[in-house]
Amino acid sequence: MQASSQGVTVVALLADPDAPTDIAKRLARALPDRLADKSGQGRRFDVEVVSQPFTAGAEDASTLMRRIVDRGSAENWDIIVALTDLPLHSHRRRLVVDLSHEHGAALLSLPSLGGWRLQGKARRAVEEAVLSLTGPRATGAERAPRSQPPLGPFAGRLAPIRPGPVDEEEFADLRYVANGPRGYLRVLVGMVRANRPWRLVPGLSKALAAALATGAIATLDSTVWSLATSLSTPRLIVATVGSVGLMIGWLIVDANLWHRTAEGSPEARQRAALYNTSTVVTVSIGVLVCYVGLMAINFVWALFILNDQVFASMTRNPLNATGYWTLSWFVASTATVGGALGSGLESDEAIRAAAYSKREQERRHMLQGEHDG
């Protein structure tokens, strides 16, 4: 039921658990006042937050819009805006938002907003979606022409987001998608942010323990001293790339993080490529953070434990700042290899929990169950 201009418009923010729910709760604090100021006409808004895994078992935008409309029809809400941290696709395009003015419903894919200032972008997207949906609703043949989208500010402010195609049989009557390489990069960064790669560091406790033990022992080895002082900067870089690459590859293969699709459609392959790219970037960031941490710890350990006279007698090089830096750099590469081996002690579930968002974990668990079945 559409609220009158002088009445209260009830807006429900239907959010997937975890990050989308957190964002929705923060939005709900100021959203009623902001909507009232922007809408004018004495309209008032009441915003409710409902945390529910509405994307469980589905990635199709049409299916999700049907669920949202059904959920809204069962409640006394005027408008329902659904938020998810899963990337969605439609017509081989990366979906940003679907709107149904007839049903007062919207579906927003948060990764399409990118990885920076997500709260502000989500607030602006939700506000503009709600303001568009509070307009007069048409039905049947009276629906607004799809070629004349009424939500112009959304595309202008969130470029490279543009209107996208909508089939006649769909619930949505307006769609915005992220176009081109910039749009792809925007969604990718949003997916990586949703995965929160910094969680990989505490999630790999056993691997880090193995790496720290390897580094502590290597720092005391005179052979390692000689190797470190004899290596040029390019070779140290090669050692870094090799050890980090080994760690990344081992984690992805051992924990079965690589996404494979049984579907042969171009959209399915595009979606799989996006998931795999986000996995590689997420794991790479986490491993690089671990590498820098190992280097810092090894540097401090070397400062306290090494004797400059013993070091100079064994390597014929003084143990100055350059010597400490070079040794800690090389030992970090050695320790990372040890960490890669130690990561085999981690359970696959622990690694997935550290590498993926809650929605992505559930999605992959469901797909794995379907594959096993």
- Amino acid (1-letter code) at residue 145: P
What is the tens place of the pLDDT at every residue in 174-183?
888 887 888 8
Q: Of 60-64, 88-92, 341-345, which one has max mean pLDDT? A: 60-64
Q: Which of 231, 350, 243, 245 is nearest to 295 (CA)?
A: 243
> 297: pLDDT confidence band, cut at 50, 70 and 90?
very high
Contact at 8 Å (CB) between 281 and 237? Answer: no
Res 141: pLDDT: 40
Res 139: pLDDT: 45
- Average pLDDT of the chain is 81
Res 196: pLDDT: 76
Q: Is residue 190's pLDDT more than 90?
A: no
Q: Is residue 4's pLDDT more than 60?
A: no
Q: Is residue 340's pLDDT more than 60?
A: yes
Res 143: pLDDT: 47
Selected residue with higher pLDDT from 152 and 352: 352
Q: Is residue 73's pLDDT more than 90?
A: no
Percent of the chain with pLDDT over 70: 82
Mean pLDDT of 263-281: 80
> 168: pLDDT confidence band, cut at 50, 70 and 90?
confident
What is the tens place of the pLDDT at every residue in 98-154?
999 989 999 999 988 887 888 888 999 999 999 888 875 544 444 444 444 444 455
Where residue 140 falls (left for φ over 0; alpha for ψ -120 to 50; beta otherwise) is: left
What is the tens place of the pLDDT at every residue in 249-271?
888 887 778 877 766 667 777 77
Q: Is residue 83's pLDDT more than 90?
A: yes
For tokens 């329902």, name the residue: 80
CA end-to-end span of the chain, whole Å? 43
- Amino acid (1-letter code) at residue 4: S
Q: What is the number of alpha carbons within 13 Å of residue 312 lying toward its C-beta?
A: 6
